Amino acid sequence: MFFCYIVVSKSTGRYYIGSTHDLANRLREHNGGEGKHTRGGIPWEIVWSEEFVSRSGAMDREKQVKGRGAGRFLKDLERMQSG
């Protein structure tokens, strides 16, 4: 399985959008400072994820979420779930 995910930095409030085949390991990598884009925001927390059968499905969703912006995407999801 593959995942598209959003993590938020507990220290800066910044979002990061990505995709992976191992969500738990990827979060460990983010929090271990292994990525240059997320190193400055440790600690990170997963705030949203979606599972896909294919890597291409997860990557397509990642592009869609990045195009919308993580904050706006999460607000839209919240609105849809409460309304």
Main-chain dihedrals φ then ψ at residue 77, nearest 5 degrees: -60, -45
CATH number assigned to the domain comprising residue 20: 3.40.1440.10
pLDDT grade for 83, boundaries at 50, 70 and 90? low
Q: Mean pLDDT over residues 17-32, rounded?
A: 98
Contact present, 17 and 72 (Cβ < 8 Å): no
The total domain count for the chain is 1
In this structure, are strands 44-52 and 15-20 parallel, antiparallel, or unpaired? unpaired
Which domain covers residue 15, as residue numbers? Answer: 2-82
Write down the pTM of the prediction. 0.94
Helix H or strand E encompassing 24 = helix 23-31
Averaged over 27-40, what is the pLDDT? 96
Kindly report the average pLDDT of the chain as a whole number: 96
Q: Is 46 exposed, middle or buried (0-12, 13-18, 19+ CB in 10 A)?
A: middle
Mind listing the pLDDT tens digit for each residue in 36-52? 999 999 999 999 999 99
